[in-house]
Amino acid sequence: MLTVILACYTRFEERVGIIAENGDTSNAYDIVKKYTEEKVGKFTGAEVVAHCPSIGRSSVLAALKKLVDEGIIIRYGSGRSTYYVKADRSWNANNKVHQ
């Protein structure tokens, strides 16, 4: 059963293009970074976890923290109200995008 699930995740990663060029599966950071690059607007950690089923919640949160530390995304709020946006487009309090 576990083999079937692993095969499904591998196939899913192939379809969405998150397999490294050398054939190795991408790590959690690469998967989350690709998701954030393609995401428009704000997103939460829970959304990233839901859209990246091949990695665990703690790995997603660690990758998000690293992306924030690198300045690729910006974190707003705290606790359950935390959300993220790309660093090149920030959101004001009214959720209107400005550059």
Q: Each residue's pLDDT tens digit in the chain (99 positions)?
A: 778 888 887 777 766 665 545 455 678 898 899 889 888 899 999 999 988 888 899 999 999 999 999 999 999 999 989 999 998 754 454 554 443
Distance CA 60, CA 64 (A): 6
Instruction: List the chain domain ranges.
Output: 27-98
DSSP 26: P
Q: Does the 27-98 domain belong in CATH 1.10.10.10?
A: yes
For the entire predicted model, the pTM comes to 0.66
Q: Minimal CA–CA distance to 75: which of 42, 98, 47?
A: 42
